[in-house]
Structure 1
Amino acid sequence: MLPRALSTTMAVMSEAEIIAWLESGAPFTGEGGGPVEPVRRIDTHAASVFLAGDRAWKLKRPVSLGYLDFSTVERRHAALETELRLNRRSAPALYLGLHRISCAPDGTLALDGAGETVDWLLEMRRFPDGALLEDRVASEGLDDATVVALADHVAAIHAGADLCRVTDGAARLRKVADDNGAVMARYPDWLDAGKVGTLRARIDQLIDRQAPLLDARGREGRIRHCHGDLHLGNIALVDGRPLAFDRLEFDTALATIDLLYDLAFLLMDLWEQGLFRQANMLFNRYLDLSPEDENAIALLPLFMAMRASIRAHVLATRAEQEGGKGSTDAALVGHARHYLDLALQLVEPVPARLIAVGGLSGTGKSTLARLIGGDVGAAPGARILRSDVLRKRLAGVAPETRLDPAAYTREKSHAVYAEIDRLAGVALRSGRAVIADAMFAAGEERTAIRTVADAADCQFDGIWLTLAEDERIARVEARVADASDADAGVVRVQTARHADVPADWLMIETEGDMRALAARIEAILGFGQA
């Protein structure tokens, strides 16, 4: 079914005339004062965007789709005002202002002219072609620095989001699941009815099981007015940094969601692309900055599955719309089925397990943890508890802030290991896999982390990394913007003092390619993505 435009011929002609005028480039002034040419138009189901020079101009389409209504000039104006207000919070450099489209008595159109207002335009700064993260992923993937910057950006958006004190988190999520399931059930020829039924039953079970936690999230202020549509197609690299834009503006209720549900769309997008390591990095960096969410990570497989199932129904609906034009897009149907299968995979239970990675500074503990984290446990992979990061958190500073030697007393180090043990227990009881990344130089530290695994009745593996002192010094001196404060002097002191090598941990020498080493360890321990 195509979007239902206004029924009057005048309204349809007005839209067509406005679009033709915008496509001509006449309203957009280029260098020398002349019109900008050529103008490129991009259509969505509810808007048209005109790319002209260094600007992008958005025109809402006069459509009513049930869940949104842009059928009048007033409604389109209100929607654009809301879009401008919301997006200026997270992307002020992109969202520049609103402009009237006016029509003189002789029918001449103008921007901000003296005639009658016939529609509105949102002016935005245009970012370069290929700047969207979905394009970047397709062409070259995402580097670690971009993933870290992305997590920081999302965490900042969520920290500034409007609080919504609600107590019905489970009921809200159940309504989304029910509505989505009903839409998927409309397409039995494309979305296997048995799979849809299995998915709906599994999601219902998970919501029932997690209902107390879902409701508590609202009381704790973790349900907020979020971005609402946070996927790779709505994030661009602008001036070298990720910037989320195009927030869900037409329904506040749809955007009033759990912070982790907002994050889950992005995690699911990365997971679907096979970027397991990047999804895991994003997840862990976000949690490192959001300690209030540590006790809710059990929700992520459910949230990611719901995001995948919504993508399945949206693609099926688009296929139906294409069918209304006379030809069903087989690729859309195939993608819809793919996302249904992904949703089913995401709700499959995966056993919790605990892996402790120990060794002296510079042996590659954190590098190894990052390389294997996305391959351990349920999506989006293991919770990585890094001692360097937790030490900074306990000190109340950002992960990359350097601490003075007073932060490294025996008492404070004991507090760091106690926090690793506590958070590992929280994650394991939530069904998550955990990688504990710390020196574990003392026998009591290794005994304590194994006890955490025993208490959760889950598998435990200890890995001890070794490397020659000169290689370790070279590594720590090459670090940039890292949570570790170790330097060459620290490495030498550790070498002189350390003699307590664990006999019951897997001993690995880390000279050489760390990716190959990670693959070897995954094979030894029996896990890894297919």
Structure 2
Amino acid sequence: MRPEAAPADRQADAVSFIETGGLGGDVAQRIDTHAASIFLVGDRAWKMKRAVHLDYLDFSRLELRKAALETELRLNRRTASALYIAVHAITSDVDGGLALDGEGRPVEWLLEMLRFPDDARLDRHIAANPLPPAVLRRLGDRIHSFHASVEVSSSPGAALALLEVIEGNVSSMRKFPDILDRTLVRDLAGQHRTLWRSLAPLLEERRRMGRVRHGHGDLHLTNIAMIDGEAVPFDCLEFSPDLATVDVLYDLAFLLMDLWHYGCRKEANLVFNRYFDLSPEDEAGLPLLPLFLSMRAAVLTHVLALQAQGAGNKELAAQAQAYLRLASELVEPVEPRLVAIGGLSGSGKSTLAASLAHELGRAPGARIFRSDVLRKRLAGVAPETSLDESRYSLAANAQAYGLLRSLTVDALGHGHSAVADAVFARQPERKAIEAVAGDTGTTFTGIWLATEEERRVERVLARTSDASDADVIIARTQSAYAIGRLDGWVSIDASGAFERTLEAARLSLRLI
């Protein structure tokens, strides 16, 4: 009988056990990161924490690795309960033989997860599959609900904590002068610090509002998977509660930035607007987005640069450089503009707004203020909840249009473009939204969608799960409205194919 080695000495034995079929099958693939190894076996993925001690994590001892995996299981079940199954022990008997969950003492720990196809990861999925708007809306809903459910931080120092992240990013990027342009890094550092100084009071105010929470922490496309037709966040930042306890908009910003990076700009804008539609308390946080988006790009810049240097990989180096350029672009100011889209029910206002907003202003595109959604906000219900007729009185209409104008003024004042989406059937309503542009010194374009009644009725009948409560009767009744003079608004025939409507609108906005 040979003496049993100390548990800390047996990680290599545990790896050998796995790779020789110890988990009930051959290892199809092994994936190594700086802190973990993942073994793909059949329909399962098994994660082992590597016995390492880095500046920001310590997995050097067996009990620390066990605790880390238990924390990872608990935290990831918040967003991906079907993927994360259990923590298991690799045990050693008295003769030193290894088994999974045997009767001997543990020498290593594994996290069992459900395996999904490699191309289900969102960074790979989007290369071949466009993401349907309904999936993106549900992803926005999922993230908003997640943020509403997680632990709120009451600790002061939100602004200083963010400054530490900024300085950490700068320090990390400076380690790779052969990969990352030193002038870009220097200039980006200065822009981040300048923005931080102007935004520090807002950061603290949002902490007092309860908007700093224990979020996902690592919400880029690599950590979201398409599972049964849904975009499911997984693999959260589990090793440091401090790093994961952030402003909810900083958590969201990782996803928005990465969608923007991958060229999915319309998709990024849709998720952005859906989240804000559901979260009125975050409207005042809009000024934070340029800094948050840029910081998230900076994170991936130095992470990829580290990987590129370690592997001598030119492709990874090019990716790091692309994220650095994006980080710089995201903090550059862009002149905001206001676009108002009017038309009777079924004319296609909201469809057009969603197709234009990503092209307006700075990332992630224009904030869309839709009167139908704001009416539901005033009633305290979800956007798709139907309202009774009392919510459509003249007084209620005035309140909804008033909120639309107020939010538009705020967005423009923060340097973000806005799209006002409402019927605007009355000339005073059109004049009032034009006045917002005049008061804020913003370029204004009004677009009126002229649409035949039968085409509008057809579209109203085709709606499912929409914020509008308009039915066929309302659509037909509106045909009798006296619209009056459009006075400078661009009138577009929207009765035909949407592609023609979009082209005409883009032409009027000088986007083509």
Task: Give TM-score scaled by structure 2 length.
Answer: 0.96
Q: 1:41 aligns with which of 27, 30, 38?
A: 30
CA distance 1:521–1:499, shift in 2 (3 Å)? closer
> Is 1:478 aligned to 2:474, yes or no?
no
Match of 2:96 in 1: 107
Aligned partners of 1:236, 1:342: CA distance in 2, in Å? 24
Aligned partners of 2:437, 2:75: CA distance in 1, in Å? 44
CA distance 1:240–1:333, shift in 2 (3 Å)? same
- DSSP-derived class of the 1:471 partner: helix
CA distance 1:137–1:117, shift in 2 (3 Å)? same
Match of 2:425 in 1: 441
Match of 2:221 in 1: 232
Of the structure 1 ranges 274-283 and 52-61, higher mean CA displacement relative to structure 2 is found in 52-61
Cα displacement (A) at 1:38: 5.2
Match of 2:491 in 1: 507
Q: 2:113 aligns with which of 124, 131, 145?
A: 124
Q: Give runs of aligned pairs for residues 206-225 of structure 1, distance below 5 A.
A: 206-225=195-214
Q: 1:390 aligns with which of 374, 385, 404?
A: 374
Match of 2:403 in 1: 419
Aligned partners of 2:268, 2:476: CA distance in 1, in Å? 35
Cα displacement (A) at 1:185: 1.4
Aligned partners of 1:75, 1:60: CA distance in 2, in Å? 9
Letter in 2 for 1:156: S
Match of 2:42 in 1: 53
CA RMSD of aligned residues (A): 1.7
Match of 2:295 in 1: 306
- DSSP-derived class of the 1:25 partner: helix
Match of 1:325 in 2: none
> Is 1:285 aligned to 2:269, yes or no?
no
- DSSP-derived class of the 1:63 partner: coil
Match of 1:180 in 2: 169
- DSSP-derived class of the 2:250 partner: helix
Cα displacement (A) at 1:10: 7.6
Match of 2:363 in 1: 379
Question: Aligned pairs, how many?
Answer: 508
Aligned partners of 1:270, 1:510: CA distance in 2, in Å? 30
- DSSP-derived class of the 1:349 partner: coil
Q: State the percentage of identical aligned residues.
A: 49
1:387-421 deviation line (CA, Å, top 9, x unaligned): 11111111121111222222211111111101101
> Is 1:168 aligned to 2:157, yes or no?
yes
CA contact (8 A) 1:387 1:438 kept: yes
> Is 1:136 aligned to 2:136, yes or no?
no
CA contact (8 A) 1:355 1:434 kept: yes
Letter in 1 for 2:70: E
Aligned partners of 1:62, 1:340: CA distance in 2, in Å? 31
1:110-136 deviation line (CA, Å, top 9, x unaligned): 122111210111112223442221221
Unaligned runs of 5+ in 2: none
Aligned partners of 2:410, 2:72: CA distance in 1, in Å? 39
Q: Give runs of aligned pairs for residues 425-464 of structure 1, distance below 5 A.
A: 425-464=409-448
Match of 2:10 in 1: 14
> Is 1:319 aligned to 2:304, yes or no?
no
Match of 2:192 in 1: 203
1:449-493 deviation line (CA, Å, top 9, x unaligned): 122222211111111111111111111111111111112111100
CA contact (8 A) 1:265 1:307 kept: yes
Match of 1:410 in 2: 394
Of the structure 1 ranges 397-406 and 219-228, higher mean CA displacement relative to structure 2 is found in 397-406
Aligned partners of 2:217, 2:103: CA distance in 1, in Å? 37
- DSSP-derived class of the 2:162 partner: helix
1:249-271 deviation line (CA, Å, top 9, x unaligned): 11111011110000000000000
CA contact (8 A) 2:340 2:420 kept: yes
Match of 2:134 in 1: 145
Aligned partners of 2:510, 2:492: CA distance in 1, in Å? 16
Match of 1:369 in 2: 353
CA contact (8 A) 1:357 1:465 kept: yes
Aligned partners of 2:274, 2:295: CA distance in 1, in Å? 22
1:312-354 deviation line (CA, Å, top 9, x unaligned): 11111112212xxxxx211111111111111111111011211
CA contact (8 A) 1:82 1:249 kept: yes
Cα displacement (A) at 1:231: 1.0
Task: Give TM-score scaled by structure 1 length.
Answer: 0.93
Match of 2:324 in 1: 340
Of the structure 1 ranges 431-440 and 112-121, higher mean CA displacement relative to structure 2 is found in 112-121
CA contact (8 A) 1:358 1:465 kept: yes
- DSSP-derived class of the 1:374 partner: helix
Unaligned runs of 5+ in 1: 1-8, 28-34, 323-327
